[in-house]
Structure 1
Amino acid sequence: MSEETREAVSETVLNSGDVVTGRVIEVDDKKVVVDIGYAFNGIIPIRELSALRIEHPSEVCAVGDEVTTKVIKIDEEDQVVVLSKREAAAQGAWNDLQDKFENGDTFEITVQDVVKGGLVTDVGVRGFIPASLVDRKFVENLEEFKGQSIRVKVVEIDPENNKLILSRKAVLDEEYDDNVSQTLESLPVGSVVTGTVQRLTNFGAFVDVGGVDGLVHISELAWHHVDHPEDVVKPGDTVQVRILKVDPEAGRVSLSIREAMPSPWEEGVQEFTPGSIVTGVVRRIVDFGVFVELKPGLEGLVHISQISHQHVAHASDVLEEGQEVKVKILAIDPERQRISLSIKDASEERPPRREPQQQRSYQSTPQDDGSGTGATIGDLFRDLFKKQ
């Protein structure tokens, strides 16, 4: 700075708390030197450069940068002005962040560091993003976000305690909700679409269809009875599903895998004909008989009267679920989706055959005529006829 310029700026009035703009002219290990157009230069100690902890001033400033600072102290004796970039940034930052919080604004920040429990950024003040608010799902390695630009929202703000909590998850949730609304409009009930199995529960499977997770209830996983969803599908599987119900307000979609595939009553039943004897598996035992599975999704009823040639009071007395049995097909009704079966008619065992009463031969008890020989009724009548 020339002597004439120095004399001119010396007349400038500068007070503690003033906000001034200058240009960086030097960067060393502990401070940054700034030309603020005053009688002597300003210095920014490393601790006053950022709301975050930094290892070297070069992480924040470079020679030639224009910086806005707040005057902390004017040291006439050492001929320096102590400045704070951190406080100057914070002075206007809190008001701006408060507006963003009240309006629910989304804005972009750069992740400066990864600390225990989350991420930190400098937005004029120190902003903290807890690990639970980084993503909609669990993030195992937060280091992948360091140096990245991400969009966040303010979810908690307390200037008095210098506390600012930001959330990336809030932005992702909002985007997801918007996407759900758009996707639901494009999923007409009855249509068949392709989805990806996301996760399994005891009551079914969640399938992603166009960015929306829909539920396939366990009863809709297959045409046959399913005990556990993992017996049919696993996460990552690509499946065809039919849209059963859409609830835009709740953001829910009910899906069916079995309805997206041919019914065994449309194809499988053609393999069977009345009168044929086939092998099946007992699947359900009820008061009036048992249901026997002939092939997956295709079951027929063996009425309790058709279980055995002997009287059966309870089907569970002679049969158990999972038991393999031979059955004779009595009748098939595709329209009502019913098949009548018989176990006893498929059995080779038959009850003892009784002779008709009229064919039975009765013989009277031999009578003693006193001669020591037995005489039959026929003998007596024969003698009578001879006398006549």
Structure 2
Amino acid sequence: MGTFDAEGVYHPRPVVADDLDEATLEDAVVRSIVDFDDGDIVEGTVVKIDRDEVLLDIGFKSEGVIPARELSIRNDVDPYEVVSLGDRIEALVLQKEDKEGRLVLSKKRAQYERAWGTIEKIKEANGVVKGPVIEVVKGGLIVDIGLRGFLPASLVELRRVRELQPYVGRVIEAKIIELDRNRNNVVLSRRAWLEETQREQRGDFLANLKPGERRRGVVSSVVNFGAFVDLGGMDGLIHVSELSWKHVDHPSSVVQVGDEVEVEVLDVDLEKERISLSLKNTQVDPWQEFANTHHVGELVYGRITKLVPFGAFVQVGDGIEGLVHISEMAVHHVDLPEQVVQPGEELWVKIIDIDLQRRRISLSIKQAAEGGDVSAEYRDAFGEHAYDEQGNYIGYDYSTAEFTPETEAQAAWADYQPEVEGTTTADEGQSAEPSDD
């Protein structure tokens, strides 16, 4: 072969000595010309590059022509981006001689033929192909694996991807899930490769994950029954019952996709590869907090949330509800809870039992009228004259003009104080019976 100068011009190799062993020059020429047929793959050197074609010296009597459309499986490529002067490449013979007498070659079809053989072997071995994403098409991506491999959008990631354009130019790995040479059809799955790659990693991850430990993660999806959290390679589920100590109507009211959260591992199922998580266990248990700061016999202020045939539920703390049994609503017989209270009404109740294990609080309206120790969070709302030396609530002196209820809590408490002249107060050891009104 010849050489190229600094400007890229090709110069044939000059003959400087008679080194022919053949009897005649004609014999030498015949022996130097390669023999091939249409459909054969030949190898040669790129000797010229134009905008619409490339010339390839394959040792034939004339250079072969590779039209621009036959250079690459990519559409509308610049020949200068595909080959360079002096490159040794393979090409498939399309026509040994066209109507203009030219040898017509195809680089992309040679690449296609080679690729099919390689890809068939990879498919048989359940291997992996690798190549750049070259195009976004309807329903997925085209990957250059020596030929055009189709990667459906649903198989790009472990979850459905909405925006495909950012993948163009990325080199990805994928499994071959469908191969049909007659139809020129190659279907790939990157998701299958990701699942296979992560399977071993998941095993190690699960083996090192212990119930009771806390991990940070990102909420990856929210569904009706809970939220999935990416712990860094694997997702765990926070069931809706483990999202909050409060009642949750829908998980989206607690967390959103993308939120960073701290969770506690509840359970790890190695066989099913499932992780159960809890968000509420990383938060203060309001029931425990309530039990630590309140005691039986204490007065608390609350709001009626619901009436039931056997009584009424009263919210006495953030996410804390207690039950006033119908027998504890008044000193007189009560047939229906609505005879005494209504939903939304605020009033004082006395704690008569706290069952932390079962998360139940028993309350009494009628016993609240007897007075008692007011919970600490409400004491600042009352003057010191309302308590005795032991901190028990003893009521107000209605005979003085100085008293004026200053808070809603005070006004509610007043409903349970004696309003008729001559009735004794709670500090005298007697309970004041509320009127039927």
TM-score (norm 1): 0.79
1:74 is displaced (CA, Å) by: 1.6
What is the percent sequence identity of the aligned residues?
40
The question of whether the paired residues in 2 share the 8 Å contact of 1:68 and 1:89 is answered with: yes
Which of 291, 315, 318 aligns to 1:293? It is: 315
SS of residue paired to 2:258 = coil
Larger radius of gyration: 1
The question of whether the paired residues in 1 share the 8 Å contact of 2:71 and 2:106 is answered with: yes
Write the deviation string for residues 130-184 of structure 1: whole angstroms up to 9, x where unpaired. 3333333444443322222111222221110111122323323333444433322
Question: Which residue in the other structure is 1:251 paired with?
Answer: 273
The question of whether the paired residues in 2 share the 8 Å contact of 1:33 and 1:42 is answered with: yes
* 225 and 318 in structure 1: CA distance in 2 versus 1, 3 angstrom threshold: farther
Question: Which residue in the other structure is 2:432 paired with?
Answer: none
Question: Which residue in the other structure is 1:117 paired with?
Answer: 139
Which of 25, 28, 45 aligns to 2:50? It is: 28
1:172-183 matches, within 5 Å, as 172-183=194-205
**Where does structure 2 lack aligned partners over 5 or more consecutive residues?**
1-11, 16-24, 370-415, 423-437
1:295 is displaced (CA, Å) by: 1.6
SS of residue paired to 2:288 = coil
The question of whether the paired residues in 2 share the 8 Å contact of 1:51 and 1:86 is answered with: yes
Q: Does 1:72 align with 2:94?
A: yes
Q: Does 1:232 align with 2:254?
A: yes
1:99-178 matches, within 5 Å, as 99-178=121-200
SS of residue paired to 1:155 = strand
SS of residue paired to 1:43 = strand
Question: d(CA) in 1 for partners of 2:118 and 2:265?
Answer: 46
Question: d(CA) in 1 for partners of 2:148 and 2:257?
Answer: 40
1:317 is displaced (CA, Å) by: 6.4
Question: What code does the residue aligned with 1:86 have?
Answer: K
* 123 and 346 in structure 1: CA distance in 2 versus 1, 3 angstrom threshold: same
Q: Does 1:39 align with 2:61?
A: yes
Question: What code does the residue aligned with 2:196 have?
Answer: E
* 350 and 168 in structure 1: CA distance in 2 versus 1, 3 angstrom threshold: same
Question: For the aligned residues, what is the CA RMSD?
Answer: 3.1
SS of residue paired to 1:211 = coil
SS of residue paired to 1:111 = strand
Question: d(CA) in 1 for partners of 2:84 and 2:127?
Answer: 31
Q: Does 1:207 align with 2:237?
A: no
The question of whether the paired residues in 2 share the 8 Å contact of 1:309 and 1:350 is answered with: no
Q: Does 1:270 align with 2:292?
A: yes
* 199 and 283 in structure 1: CA distance in 2 versus 1, 3 angstrom threshold: farther
Question: Which residue in the other structure is 1:195 paired with?
Answer: 217
Question: Which residue in the other structure is 2:109 paired with?
Answer: 87
The question of whether the paired residues in 2 share the 8 Å contact of 1:9 and 1:37 is answered with: no
Write the deviation string for residues 95-140 of structure 1: whole angstroms up to 9, x where unpaired. 3212222333222201223334332233332222233333334444
Question: Which residue in the other structure is 2:354 paired with?
Answer: 332
Which of 238, 242, 263 aligns to 2:264? It is: 242
The question of whether the paired residues in 2 share the 8 Å contact of 1:289 and 1:301 is answered with: yes
* 195 and 289 in structure 1: CA distance in 2 versus 1, 3 angstrom threshold: farther
Question: d(CA) in 2 for partners of 1:320 and 1:188?
Answer: 48
1:282 is displaced (CA, Å) by: 3.8
SS of residue paired to 1:267 = helix
Question: d(CA) in 1 for partners of 2:172 and 2:55?
Answer: 31
Question: d(CA) in 2 for partners of 1:103 and 1:8?
Answer: 45
**Where does structure 1 lack aligned partners over 5 or more consecutive residues?**
354-388
Question: d(CA) in 2 for partners of 1:320 and 1:66?
Answer: 91
